[in-house]
Each structure stands twice: as C-alpha cells, then as structure tokens.
Amino acid sequence: MKSTDTALKEEKKVKEYKPRYLNKRTVPEEPFDTEALLEVQHLSKTYGSLKVLDNISEKIYKGEKIAVIGPSGSGKSTFLRCLNALEDPTDGYVFFDGHNLCDLKVDINVQRQSMGMVFQNFNLFNNMTVLKNITFAPVHVKKKQLSALKWLNFKTKFLNLFKKKDCKAPLMPIETSVKKIKAEAEENAIRLLKRIGLEEKAGVYPSTLSGGQRQRIAIVRALAMNPKVMLFDEPTSALDPEMVGEVLSLIKELADEGMTMVIVTHEMGFAREIATRVLFMDGGNVVEQGPPEKIFTSPENDRLKDFLSKVL
Ligand SMILES: Nc1ncnc2c1ncn2[C@@H]1O[C@H](COP(=O)(O)OP(=O)(O)O)[C@@H](O)[C@H]1O
Ligand SMILES: [Mg+2]
C-alpha cells in the first residue's frame, strides 16, 4: 500500500497536470459543418465561478468578414482566443478547417499556423529586427518539416541496409535546404514590407517604430504564414487616433482580397463598411447577429440598442 505522503503527492500531480482539454471529449455529439471554415458548438468558458462564454454556437464560412462588437467584458477576446485554442474551452467544441481542435490527437500547433492572430498591443518580438519578426515563424516551421523529412530518410536508409536490393524503400525527395528556406522567407518578408511601404525598416527593431507601423508589421507577420483566416482583437485600440486609419486600410485591403476574418472592434464605422456579418456579444453570448445594415439601422435586441446609442 502506498504511504499517505506518496498518495498526496500523486494527487497533487494529477491536479497540477492540465491537459489541453480538461474533459478530453473527442467525439462531438453533433456532426460539424464541413462547409464551414470555423465552427463552434456549445462553446462555454468559465474562470472559477465567472461564466465568460455561455453556450455559443456559430459557423464562419470562407470569405466571411465577421465583426464582433459588444461592451467591454462581454467575452469578445475570450471567444477569439478560443477560436485558435489559445484558451481551453470549459465545454463545447471548436472545429477549424475540418479538424476538431478539442481532439487531443489533433496537432494544435499545426492548425494554428493557418490562423493569423493580431492583438491590440502588437506583440512583436522586441529583441528581433522587423525582418526577423516576419521570417521567424515560417523559417521555424519549414526547418522543422525539413528535419522531419531528413530523419525519415535516415530511418529508411538504415532499414534498407537489412533489405534485399529490390525491396529497398524509396527515399523522400528533399528539394530544399536551410539556406533556401531562409532566403525564401526573407524574400517573402521584403515583398510584404514593400506592400505596406516599410521595406526600409527591415533591419530596425520594433521599439523604433510608431504604433501604426508596428501594428501593420504585426499584420504582415501573420500574413507571412499564409493563413486561412485572420483573427483581429481590437487591432486599433492601442493606437493614437492619427494611426488608426493606416491600420484599418490595410485590414480593408485584406478583406477586399477575400481573406476570411474575424475582427473584434470598437470602430463601428469600419465594422459597418467591411463586415459581411456582425455579431453582437453581451454577457458571454451572441445576442444578436446579422448583416451590418440590419444591426446598425434596425437593431432588435434592447441591449444592442442601448450599446449602439452609446457608441454611435
Ligand atoms: N484569464 C482570465 N482569468 C479570469 N478572468 C478572466 C480572464 N480573462 C478574461 N476574464 C474575464 O472574462 C470576462 C470577459 O473578458 P474578455 O473576453 O476579455 O471580454 P472583452 O474582450 O469583451 O472585453 C471579463 O470579465 C474578464 O475579467
Ligand atoms: Mg477584449
């Protein structure tokens, strides 16, 4: 029999161990919509006794531009963070591009590579140059893929030693190298910097840039991964008013190019201009949603009416 001490230690270990999804539900009760790029089913999130998201079910299709509006504390950021699994839902499911992000067998890091996230406070790496900020993730991911491929070939070669000549397994073709990966990522980064007119800033550190420039770089950094969806959490809230325009026009450009996006914003004019659908959140729920003309000109929900009377 185990001593009480060991038993206590083990119990503590179990409590400290925090799996990605505490309840480890891998099989949803309802099938997900294969047409939707993002889907949440019965999404709930609680912090202690505070229920921040309360049973949200939503689908987001390719090409949609979703504006999420609502009072402060209504759960908008938590909702966005659940979409790319930066937050563990307490209950419910998140599906992205046909993958159940609540399934422990799904590699969340691989899925997250296809979701660009832009935060209020830029979140650039201050110890890296602008160029390195943009190339870091793509280079890291491609280098990892390259080493996986090399390792696979090494194993195949080793096993081939024990096989007859005509039974040897073929090796995977490797057409790239670390040097090539870096050069390609840099070329792509320069192209993206040119797009926002900041190519001359490639070698400088983020601290020397204005907020508007930093946020535009944060956006192109996300674009460098060729995301399938962009998630913006109040991308202009931390900016001086004169810099809001340059960031919004870049987001609008992306929207016009057909990028699927979910944007939490307090810029109602902007939401109205670019969104294909507006979600109004209050108290952890989407209480009303619809096309922008409907939401902004003939809202039905009283809380939405009240909210709009304060912000418009
Ligand atoms: N990590 C956390 N721990 C505890 N409470 C949190 C945490 N994150 C958010 N909350 C709470 O959840 C509620 C919703 O937060 P949030 O999603 O940031 O709202 P919004 O973005 O709409 O302002 C707030 O009351 C906030 O205090
Ligand atoms: Mg927020």
Q: Report residue 158 as tokens.
A: 């080793």
**Which atom of ligand 1 is closest in space to residue 284's alpha carbon?**
14
Ligand 1 in contact with 47 (CB < 6 A)? Answer: yes
The 3-state DSSP class for residue 164 equals coil
Closest by CA position to 136, among listed 177, 186, 180: 186
Ligand 2 centroid to Cα of residue 140, in Å, is 29
The 3-state DSSP class for residue 245 equals helix
Ligand 1 in contact with 73 (CB < 6 A)? Answer: yes
Q: What's the CA angle centered on 172, arms 171 and 176, to 5 degrees? A: 130
Q: What is the pLDDT of residue 105?
A: 81
User: Which ligand does the CA of 78 lie closest to?
Assistant: 1
Residues of the chain with pLDDT under 50: 1-2, 14-19, 22-23
Q: What is the pLDDT of residue 46?
A: 94
| CA-CA-CA-CA torsion sign (21, 25, 26, 28) | negative
Q: What is the pLDDT of residue 12?
A: 54
Contact of 283 with 78, CB cutoff 8 Å = no
Per-residue pLDDT reduced to its tens digit, 5-35? 665 565 555 444 444 554 455 567 778 888 9
- Predicted TM-score (pTM) above 0.75: yes
Ligand 1 in contact with 285 (CB < 6 A)? Answer: no
Q: What is the pLDDT of residue 127?
A: 97
239 burial level (CB within 10 Å; 0-12, 13-18, 19+): buried
Q: What is the pLDDT of residue 8?
A: 58
Q: Report the residue among 18, 43, 44, 52 best suited for mutation to probe ligand 1: largest number of ligand atoms under 8 A from its CB.
A: 52
Using alpha carbons, list the distances in angstroms from residue 16 to 12, 25, 80, 90, 102.
Answer: 6, 19, 26, 17, 20
Ligand 1 in contact with 236 (CB < 6 A)? Answer: no
Instruction: Give residues whose Cβ lies within 5 Å of ion ligand 2.
Output: 77
Ligand 1 centroid to Cα of residue 284, in Å, is 10
The DSSP line for 216-237 is HHHHHHHHTT--SEEEEESTTT
Other CB atoms within 10 Å distance of the CB of residue 44? 17
Ligand 1 in contact with 151 (CB < 6 A)? Answer: no
**Which atom of ligand 1 is closest in space to residue 264's alpha carbon?**
21
Ligand 2 centroid to Cα of residue 82, in Å, is 13
Distance CA 117, CA 304 (A): 27
Ligand 1 centroid to Cα of residue 168, in Å, is 57
Categorise residue 298: left if φ over 0, alpha if ψ from -120 to 50, beta otherwise: beta
The DSSP line for 269-310 is HHHHHH-SEEEEEETTEEEEEE-HHHHHHS--SHHHHHHHHH
The DSSP line for 42-69 is EEEEEETTEEEEEEEEEEEETT-EEEEE
Q: Supply the residue whose CA is at minimum distance from atom 17 of ligand 1.
A: 75
Ligand 1 in contact with 72 (CB < 6 A)? Answer: yes
Question: Which string of b and e fits 147-177 if b means at least 16 CB within 10 Å?
Answer: eebeeebeeeeeeeeeeeeeeeeeeeeeeee
Per-residue pLDDT reduced to its tens digit, 52-104? 999 999 999 999 999 999 999 999 999 999 999 999 898 899 999 999 888 88
